Amino acid sequence: MNALKKLFGGNTRQFGMIFALVALIVFFQIFTEGRTLTPGNVINLFNGNSYILILAIGMVLVIIAGHIDLSVGSVAAFVGVTVALAIRDWGIPWYMGVLLGLGLGALIGAWQGFWTAYVGIPAFIVTLAGMLLFRGFNQFVGKSNTIPVPQDFQYLGSGYLPEVGPNTGYNNLTLLLGLIAVAFVVYGELRARRNAKALGAEVPEGWVMATKLILICGAILYATYLFATGRPGTSFPVPGLILAVLVLIYGFISSKTVVGRHIYAVGGNRHAAELSGVQSKKVNFLVMMNMSILAGLAGMIFVGRSTASGPFDGVGWELDAIAAVFIGGAAVTGGVGTVIGSIVGGLVMAVLNNGLQLLGVGADLTQIIKGLVLLAAVAFDVYNKTQGKKSIIGMMMKNFGRTPTVLQPDETTKTKEVISKEV
């Protein structure tokens, strides 16, 4: 127990949710008699949810900044149909189609960002309008028809890493990717630890880090094994690769860059941020614009996967993405949340969906369960706010985490002490 405390304690907030995810996977693995962790199922799970997870990346930034975006499903659909039409009717190559889609997403985002940031209309309203608007555009432009996309564009949504190199019985590129990921994780952790030590900051004990690394790397390697041993022709899917790249980029932006800091600052306390020189309007604009670009990307991946664009693409996606973000520990009031947390939150929903499906549970019951999970997650979050803690993770880790050191209210030096020091 003590070991667990040390392992999961501290400020690693994602661990609680990861814990839940692992528990969920184990549960389904047992009750589906091993059908959950098969290469085919895992690949399916990734392919079928990558676009929601991409939306969750944008959505967490929106929610951290204190807004919400209800229009992502419609934006994705509109971008999808426009690109599909452009490729069919204008005969542009697939990469021009992608560029067009991203550009259109940026344009839509600028529109929504303008109303939200500079006119000051709540994002809820702006994007509710956008939800209607762009759904309408999707059906108007596509004349409510299904528009197929060519083979090379489909690669975006349903392609796999190719087979290269000697025949090892595994997919070589997938293996390579897994090894790179492991090396990256180990190097990053060691470097962070060295820096922290050099600065004299508090670092966990060596065995704690070692156990943590072994667990993470074990998980990565196992996933690699699953992806590399699928049915011939399958391997790590392209949407998964795109997702991984985006997670890296946005994880970096949100935690390490000036822009990222500003997003958290605006969401945490807008007035304080403004009085510190943060230009909150610009931040809000960028966040809204970014969301629509990612929505455009998600729309294109979905079109690629389903081989055609249709009038009802993306219906309900916004809700899945928002749910993923909140389950992943973001706060409704803004200022709290992480990219990786949202991905884990999205995976929890995905595994739940998938597992229940494998068990043969009907769509009705699945929705009921998913609804309850979301409610429970946010209820914990709200409950913890009133308890002075930050999020669901804190709650879930209550028994694992260190008891927070509560400072005495009067921690300042007494006058006498100060004077004696000065003398």
CB of 188 to another protein, least distance (A): 12
CB of 182 to another protein, least distance (A): 23
Q: Which two tokens stand for residue 371?
A: 């609804």
CB of 15 to another protein, least distance (A): 17
**In the Cβ-directed half-sphere of 127, how many Cα atoms lie within 13 Å?**
26
- Complex with another protein: residue 76 or 273, whichever CB lies closer: 273
CB of 13 to another protein, least distance (A): 12
Could you give the residue ranges of the DSSP H alpha helices within 142-232? 151-158, 172-199, 206-228
Query: Phi and psi for 16 in degrees, rounded to 5?
Result: -60, -45
Q: Which of 52, 102, 67 is nearest to 82 (CA)?
A: 102
Check if the beta carbon of residue 61 is closer than 8 Å to that of residue 330: no
- Complex with another protein: residue 120 or 416, whichever CB lies closer: 416
- Complex with another protein: residue 181 or 259, whichever CB lies closer: 259
A 10 A CB-CB count for 233 gives 9
Residues 6+ apart with CB under 8 A from 193: 203, 209
- Complex with another protein: residue 12 or 306, whichever CB lies closer: 12
CB of 36 to another protein, least distance (A): 37
Q: Which of 369, 366, 356, 359 is nearest to 33 (CA)?
A: 359
Q: Which two tokens stand for residue 98?
A: 């992608």
- Complex with another protein: residue 169 or 416, whichever CB lies closer: 416
CB of 417 to another protein, least distance (A): 7
**Straight-line distance from the first to the last Cα atom of the chain, in angstroms, rounded to the nearest whole number:** 49
Instruction: Tell me which residue has tokens 């290269």.
Output: 164
Q: What gap in Å lies between CA 161 and CA 163, rounded to an integer?
A: 7
- Complex with another protein: residue 206 or 271, whichever CB lies closer: 271
In the 8-state DSSP scheme, what is residue 137?
Answer: H
Q: Cα angle at 365 between 362 and 370, to 5 degrees?
A: 120
In the 8-state DSSP scheme, what is residue 87?
Answer: I
Instruction: Write out the residues near another protein by the rule CB under 8 A.
Output: 11, 195-196, 198-202, 256-262, 264-265, 268-269, 271-279, 335-336, 388, 390, 404-419, 422
Q: What gap in Å lies between CA 257 and CA 267, rounded to an integer?
A: 16
Q: What gap in Å lies between CA 310 and CA 139, rounded to an integer?
A: 8
Check if the beta carbon of residue 85 is closer than 8 Å to that of residue 142: yes
- Complex with another protein: residue 25 or 266, whichever CB lies closer: 266
CB of 388 to another protein, least distance (A): 8
- Complex with another protein: residue 253 or 373, whichever CB lies closer: 253
CB of 385 to another protein, least distance (A): 11
- Complex with another protein: residue 135 or 389, whichever CB lies closer: 389
Which neighbouring-strand residues pair with 72? Answer: none
Check if the beta carbon of residue 71 is closer than 8 Å to that of residue 342: no
CB of 158 to another protein, least distance (A): 35
- Residue 191 CA: distances (Å) to CA of 173, 180, 182, 183, 244: 26, 16, 14, 12, 21
CB of 286 to another protein, least distance (A): 13
- Complex with another protein: residue 296 or 394, whichever CB lies closer: 394
